[in-house]
Amino acid sequence: MGPTLRDGAIVPGPVNSSKDLPRGVHDLQSPGSYRVMREDDGEIFGWAVGPGSWKNEYFPPSQVMWRSEIVGDTLVFRQPDRSHALLAIVGARPCDVAALRILDHVLEEGVHRDSRYSERRDSNFIAVVECASPADTCFCASMKSGPGIDEDFDVALTELNDELGHRFIARIGSPRGADVLSSVSTRPANELDLEARALLLETASRAMSRSLPFDEVANLLARNVEHPRWLDVAERCLSCGNCTSVCPTCFCSDVHDTTDTSGAIERRRTWSSCFDLEHSYLHGGSVHESSSSRYRQWMTHKLSTWWDQFDSTGCVGCGRCIVWCPVGIDITEEVAAIAAHDQARVAVPSRPGAS
Amino acid sequence: MSKAMRDLVEVHPFMTSMNEESIELVSGCARNAVFAPGSLLCAEGGDADTFYLLRRGQVSISVHIPGRGSVVIETVGAGDVVGWSWLVPPYRWTFDARAMDDVGCIAIDGACLRVKALTDPSLGFALLSKVSVTLLERLQATRMRLLDLYGDHRVQ
Amino acid sequence: MRPSSVAPRGNLNDLTPIVHRVVERIGETNDITTLVLEPLDAPSMTFRCGQFNMLSAFGVGEIAISMSSAPGEGTLRHSIRDVGAVSHALCQSRVGDLVGVRGPFGSDWLVESASVEADLDPRDTIVVAGGIGLAPLRGAVEELVRANERGGGRVFVLVGAREPSQIVFRADLDSWRARGAKVSLTVDLATPEWDGRVGLVTTLLADAGFDATNSRAMLCGPEVMMRFTARALVDLGMDPEGILVSLERNMQCGVGWCGHCQLGPFLLCRDGPVVPYAGLVSQLLTQRER
């Protein structure tokens, strides 16, 4: 699988050859806006990210956990079919890989291990492509998840298209990566190639105008729970949940049972969103009744309490939430607004904000 | 007023942080009282000229409702005060206060104390300050009970 | 549902419950039922007081319910209040019905089993329960009373309920009182036959007879009741680190995957439901969610 152009957006899809990849496609992204354009430059990865992320392949939007039925006088549990095709992804982004790393903490290191998630993670092949053309909405550099990447891949590619030609630098990250590359025609990278890569990453980093204060944001939000900005953003937020749909690390889900008249039961786990009113249902009502309460929950979880719960940040700086918000709410702008009038009202024990 | 009475008055929680002079004045209007189980300390509608510093036993605050009998709203015990209406016009008790067991207390002549407070503003202020604290606590507790926290509050 | 046996079950990692049978059903009040459960073909569960299970009413759904048995009792008991579809189905269960159980999950009241030859905590323990809040505390109180019988600190059990008919576990309350615990009850609404205290459960603190500066507390009940009681205890001089509260939020998976049970930095299925009142929790409890 890899990035494919479909319905005017770059989304994950089946890829059988390089012809299926979005050659010559570039994207233009800003708050609440996403466009693709075609150029004749032959670049395959001259775009940033699209709305979909690779989360779907490992943690499907709807998944049967188990089924049961009554056979005669016996209650029988049946596990769903666990077989799955081996997955190879060509064209994941460093922020996508960072997001999967974050989901690993949530789904593999809890009380139970999501074994189907693990099986897919253990058996996949990832060829990640470093970013040359970040969008205006990208801020992975400040979240330490891009535009380059140095671990957790089988092969890492960097696309170079300059006076020395159109070529890819490939770095090997695993024995399987080495194996796959051995069947591709390569030459050793030289000084110029490596310098070109360094320059590309440097340029990409500096091109990102947006950022978050990685070391401070967790504590900043923790001490500003009563900041007036939460009411301000609530005037704009529709609680539509688009941000949670496109976010590569959001994992909230509902667990529910359905049954039929024969007594057969199916338990499913289905993606949900903290912007749903029912998400925080308790004793006849919702704890997070207002949209300001829900927005605050989402943002403080993603950037602050995720550290307490999973010992890492929840955000990779992909900017999808900014692009796909219908009213263009920008998480980096909201943080800056809070920081500009830091209320520092609540004295909290200092939390880990950096590694 | 005997020294024994003054000693009893002084140690009651209602009197803490009151000055010597106020304690003297209050003790001058005080006498010992006991109530057998079931007897009334205050009767609804009666003239509220006395209030009680409870030293021993439990007292129920109740209101009589036709068809429901005497409904207990609250119970108070040693260290509490019963009877506030002596301080506020029209000086009439709004509830019954009934001894639940053997009650020992200090009965204070409220009418007498009212007269003294008019001529001695600092005594008046001290009494009102103490009364306010307890009234606030009771109000907060009552408001909490209004929330019906143990009830089922699902939207039907 | 009434099948009499269960085929080898699935993978706990897929949230498959362990099937139990209802062996006893006790109607505690008009809306609280206690179920005593035994596993069909699995060993009995070991757990610590304060933890919870996810109970499945097959075909209806699953909810989080704390154990109300003491670990040494040898039974698995849950007291359930009928407030929704799943709890209603569980409360309607009869002896012989099948119930699914997943667990034990979460944190506990940190009460050492009195049967363990360990140094007994000399501090007094103040247990304050509101309504059905006594259920998650029942096992802990039993352990504390046994510890006190062997020389550990005194036990104070302060119970508040809406009205006299809503007081649960009266037999246990009498038993604890008979074995040396100071048991005090109060109700919000009195009935003509009630000759006990009437008022908020916090009114039981002042004359209970404990030294707050040298005791610890365990609170369970409506969240508002817990935060007012905790504050009253701190005002009496108790160290906030010694106050434990049992918190509750929407729970669906019980294992930290679904994100529903978050309360600030806590995932209550994993870091709770029992948490210390000190520091962060006291602030979280007063944070207004408009």
pLDDT of the residue at C133: 96
Among chain A residues, CA nearest to B151 = A283
pLDDT of the residue at C86: 96
pLDDT of the residue at C108: 95
Q: What is the CATH number of the domain that holds B91?
A: 2.60.120.10
Q: Which residues of C touch A283 (CB under 8 A)?
A: 83
| Gap between the Cα atoms of B109 and B107, Å rounded | 7
State the pTM of this model. Answer: 0.89
Residue B103 lies in a domain: yes
Among chain C residues, CA nearest to A275 = C260
Residue B79 lies in a domain: yes
Residue B156 contacts A, CB cutoff 8 Å: no
Q: Which residues of A touch C105 (CB under 8 A)?
A: 111
At C218-234, the pLDDT tens digits run 999 999 899 999 999 99
| Arithmetic mean of pLDDT over chain B | 89
At A323-347, the pLDDT tens digits run 999 999 999 999 999 999 998 765 5
pLDDT of the residue at A348: 53
Rounded average pLDDT over A33-46: 94
CA distance A251 to chain C (A): 7
Residue B151 lies in a domain: no
| Arithmetic mean of pLDDT over chain A | 93
Residues of chain A with pLDDT > 70: what percent? 97
- The region of weakest confidence among B13-27, C93-107, C112-126 is C112-126
Rounded average pLDDT over C95-124: 85
At B97-137, the pLDDT tens digits run 999 999 999 999 999 998 888 888 888 888 888 889 888 98
DSSP string, chain C: ---SEE-S---GGGTPPEEEEEEEEEE-SSSEEEEEEEESSSPPP---TT-EEEEEETTTEEEEEEB-S-GGGSSEEEEEE--SHHHHHHHT--TT-EEEEEEEES-------TTS-SPPP-SEEEEEEEGGGHHHHHHHHHHHHHHHHTT---EEEEEEESSGGG---HHHHHHHHHTT-EEEEEESS--TT--SEES-GGGGTTTS---GGGEEEEEES-HHHHHHHHHHHHHTT--GGGEEEE-----SSSSSSS-TTEETTEEHHHH-SEEE-TTHHHHHHH----
Residue B20 contacts A, CB cutoff 8 Å: no
Per the CB < 8 A criterion, the answer to whether B10 and B104 are in contact is: no
The answer to whether residue A37 scores a pLDDT higher than 60 is: yes
Rounded average pLDDT over B68-72: 84
Nearest Cα neighbor of A204 from A5, A39, A47, A24 is A47
The residues near A190 (Cβ < 8 Å, ≥ 6 apart) are none
| Gap between the Cα atoms of B49 and B30, Å rounded | 12
The answer to whether residue C284 scores a pLDDT higher than 70 is: yes
Q: What is the CA radius of gyration of chain C?
A: 19
Among chain B residues, CA nearest to C83 = B152
b/e code B59-93 from CB counts within 10 Å (16+ = b)? bbbbeeeeeeeeebbbbbbbebbbbbbbbeeeeeb
Rounded average pLDDT over B51-61: 95
pLDDT of the residue at C13: 80
pLDDT of the residue at A352: 46
- β-bridge mates for residue C52, sequence order: C66, C105
Q: Which residues of C touch A259 (CB under 8 A)?
A: 58-60
Residue B70 contacts C, CB cutoff 8 Å: yes
At A113-150, the pLDDT tens digits run 998 899 999 989 999 999 999 999 999 999 999 999 99
Nearest Cα neighbor of C39 from C59, C28, C26, C53 is C53
Residues of chain B with pLDDT > 70: what percent? 97
Q: Which residues of C touch A279 (CB under 8 A)?
A: 250, 260
Confidence of residue A212 (pLDDT cuts 50, 70, 90): very high
Residue B152 lies in a domain: no
Tell me how many domains chain B contains: 1
CA distance B87 to chain C (A): 24
Residue B123 lies in a domain: yes
C61/A77 Cβ within 8 A: no
Where does residue A251 rank: exposed (0-12), middle (13-18), buried (19+ CB within 10 A)? Answer: buried
pLDDT of the residue at C286: 79
Q: Pick C3's closest partner by Cβ from A75, A115, A287.
A: A75
Task: Quote the Cα angle for A193-A198-A201, to 5°.
Answer: 125
Residue A38 contacts C, CB cutoff 8 Å: no
Rounded average pLDDT over A292-301: 96
The answer to whether residue C115 scores a pLDDT higher than 60 is: no
Among chain C residues, CA nearest to B67 = C192
CA distance B100 to chain C (A): 8
CA distance A284 to chain B (A): 4
The answer to whether residue C77 scores a pLDDT higher than 80 is: yes
Residues of chain C with pLDDT > 90: what percent? 79
At C23-69, the pLDDT tens digits run 999 999 999 999 999 999 899 999 999 999 999 999 999 999 999 99
Residue B134 contacts C, CB cutoff 8 Å: no
Confidence of residue C290 (pLDDT cuts 50, 70, 90): low
Among chain C residues, CA nearest to B153 = C83
A78/C258 Cβ within 8 A: no
Q: Which residues of C touch A77 (CB under 8 A)?
A: 6-10, 16
pLDDT of the residue at A353: 41
At A150-180, the pLDDT tens digits run 999 999 999 999 898 999 999 999 999 999 9
C225/B149 Cβ within 8 A: yes
pLDDT of the residue at A82: 78
Its domain, for residue B110, covers 3-146
CA distance B123 to chain C (A): 27
The answer to whether residue C118 scores a pLDDT higher than 80 is: no
Rounded average pLDDT over A41-51: 95
| Three-state helix/strand/coil letters over A169-203 | EEEECCHHHHHHHCCCCCCCCCHHHHHHHHHHHHH
Its ipTM equals: 0.91
pLDDT of the residue at A354: 35
More confident residue, C178 or B136: C178
Residue B148 contacts A, CB cutoff 8 Å: no
- In the chain, the amino acid numbered A18 is S
Among chain C residues, CA nearest to B149 = C222
Which partners does chain A have (≥3 C-beta pairs < 8 Å)? B, C
pLDDT of the residue at A346: 56
CA distance B115 to chain C (A): 33
CA distance A281 to chain B (A): 11
Residue B51 lies in a domain: yes
A280/C6 Cβ within 8 A: no
pLDDT of the residue at A349: 52
Per the CB < 8 A criterion, the answer to whether A2 and A15 are in contact is: yes
| Gap between the Cα atoms of C281 and C192, Å rounded | 40
Residue A19 contacts B, CB cutoff 8 Å: no
CA distance B154 to chain C (A): 8
Per the CB < 8 A criterion, the answer to whether A169 and A160 are in contact is: yes
At C255-281, the pLDDT tens digits run 999 999 999 999 999 999 999 998 888
Residue B139 contacts C, CB cutoff 8 Å: no
At C1-29, the pLDDT tens digits run 567 787 766 677 889 999 999 999 999 99
* Pairing mode of beta strands C32-39, C76-81: antiparallel
Rounded average pLDDT over C205-213: 92
Q: Which residues of C touch B143 (CB under 8 A)?
A: none
- The region of weakest confidence among A237-246, B25-34, B71-80, C10-19 is C10-19
Residue B133 contacts C, CB cutoff 8 Å: no
